[in-house]
Structure 1
Amino acid sequence: MRATRLLRRGLALSGLLAACLVVPASSGAAGTAHACITRSAKETGTVREDAVSRTPDEAVQRDLQQHPSVHPAKKRPHPSFTVPVYWTVLYDKDNPSDGSIPDEAINKQIELANTYFRNIGLRFQLMRRNRVATDHTTLHGLEYFNDGPLKRQYHMGNEQTVNIYSANSDQMPGGWFTYPWDYQDHPDQDGVVLPYDSLPGGTDPHHNQGKTAIHQIRHWVGLFNTFQGRL
């Protein structure tokens, strides 16, 4: 039964799969999150999350445009599958504004995800918000290979539930994600980690349209990047 559910999640977008260079967490790390890298990063051995610096909105937009069925447009009705969403907000316990986001921003991000994915039959429904006061060092040192303890503590749901963690880390250009096939061996590591200021209306003036989350959720359901090999 679990294998069937994983297959359903992983193949929900199977008609849109394309090539991507991905680097799993190192074998010595506890996490299983992935970060896409550029060709130059691969050659130098330096891992960078989703392109150069933070995921450029224009690159994400271009990538989405190449798949009209995941870009907002009027399409014929499609059977819907609802993905429960559990959102954990990680913020500095001594400075709540550092990482904290309003409920409105989360709601808008979910609405945006539904706009992008509805034409392929995916719908996201927020089930719970969890706000977690975190010490400054842990928050700002969070990376894709050391997020295991936090995820194990706050992860909820099963393989068809997306856990989204928003944070303000110094090591988080564009966030990171896990693939459907990671779930079987590391179920409590499943999910997406996002820069808190990349949500709609966020404090980053260049990346506050919510497209970073769309990009990473796309990986979570099993899609690869199309633009990686051309950067």
Structure 2
Amino acid sequence: MIRVCDLTNLACYHPSRKCSANADEFAIAAAEKHFQANRVPSSSLQARGAHKEAALNVYWHVVRLNETEEGGDTNPLFINTSIDIMNYHFKDAGIRWNLVNVSRTTNEVWFRNASGNSTAEFEMKQALKKGGKADLNVYSVDNTYETAFGWATFPYEYPLNPEWMDGVVVRHTTLPGDFEGKHRGKTLLHEAGHWCGLYHVFMNSCDEPGDYVDDTPSQEAQYECIFPRSSCIKGQWDPLYNIMDYTSDYCQSQFTPGQNQRMREQLKMYRDIDM
């Protein structure tokens, strides 16, 4: 058994909970039933990559304690690098992200306390949200009391929640150039995957229907870059490099063709994006 991060001279990192974008199983089942009944499937040609590119706007909200990088005042270089990382990994899905605005807000309560479904999160989003359902709002905070690195809303939730709830929240230290050297911007990549309609590849663990994508094998959550690993079916290796797993940033590097197709179909149905 090989620990991949050891091979690259990088320390393995063990997040206790990387993402808190976990919707209620009954809500997911109902949403999936609606999606499967009404989706317009991508053609086989589109699934191979010959699809129309969609340009999506990104509104980035830097919520900071003070005007220092340690206080959350994220360097513009880190933000631009994050967008570059997203564009590289989403290109096979036909998605291009355009950073159209960066706002900076000094608010200690929002910076420290904007954990999932908190009063601070609600106040922050109501005050800062820009654009519509086809526009991605990113909030970089500290959320000291949240064990996750980030969370996101799903496309099917847009008509169910107040419009201002839509978006992605990430801990500012997960961006490229973080002080501890553990992160390479993959948390935002992972959360944007949720915003585009993907679930964790380990959803439902070894049981059907998994994550509702045919080419992502059933698996248990993986926190280390260990290969080979077969957590569900003997001889069927877990997808070590999938962006929607919990492995470290060093390993998360790919969406499958099925995930790319699902994102296009979800964006078209729930966010009215012409794919």
TM-score tier (shorter): 0.5 to 0.7
Is 1:100 aligned with 2:73? yes
Identity of aligned residues (%): 26
2:82 to 109, 112, 116: 109
Is 1:215 aligned with 2:190? yes
Aligned residues: 160
1:29-55 Cα offsets, whole Å, 9 max, x none, are xxxxxxxxxxxxxxxxxxxxxx73335
Supply the AA of the counterpart residue of 2:132: N
Following superposition, the deviation at residue 110 of structure 1 comes to 0.4
Distance 2:67 2:175 in 1: 22
Secondary structure of residue in 1 paired with 2:100: strand
Following superposition, the deviation at residue 202 of structure 1 comes to 1.5
Following superposition, the deviation at residue 183 of structure 1 comes to 1.4
RMSD in angstroms over aligned alpha carbons?
1.9
Following superposition, the deviation at residue 150 of structure 1 comes to 0.5
In the TM superposition, 1:189-228 aligns within 5 A as 189-206=165-182, 208-228=183-203
Is 1:139 aligned with 2:111? yes
Contact 1:77 1:119 in 2 (8 A): no
Is 1:86 aligned with 2:59? yes
Secondary structure of residue in 2 paired with 1:160: coil
- Point out which structure has higher relative CO (alpha carbons under 8 A, 6+ apart): 1
Secondary structure of residue in 1 paired with 2:164: helix
Distance 1:76 1:182 in 2: 27
Is 1:54 aligned with 2:18? yes
Distance 1:89 1:143 in 2: 15
TM-score w.r.t. structure 2 length?
0.55
Secondary structure of residue in 2 paired with 1:224: coil
Contact 1:78 1:119 in 2 (8 A): no
In structure 2, runs of 5+ residues without a counterpart are 1-14, 20-47, 206-219, 222-275
Distance 1:124 1:211 in 2: 15
Contact 1:89 1:131 in 2 (8 A): yes
In structure 1, runs of 5+ residues without a counterpart are 1-50, 56-74
Contact 1:88 1:129 in 2 (8 A): yes
1:127-149 Cα offsets, whole Å, 9 max, x none, are 000000012x4421221111111
Name which one, 1 or 2, has greater alpha-carbon Rg.
Answer: 2
Distance 1:134 1:95 in 2: 13
Residues 1:121 and 1:150: Cα distance change in structure 2 (over 3 Å): same
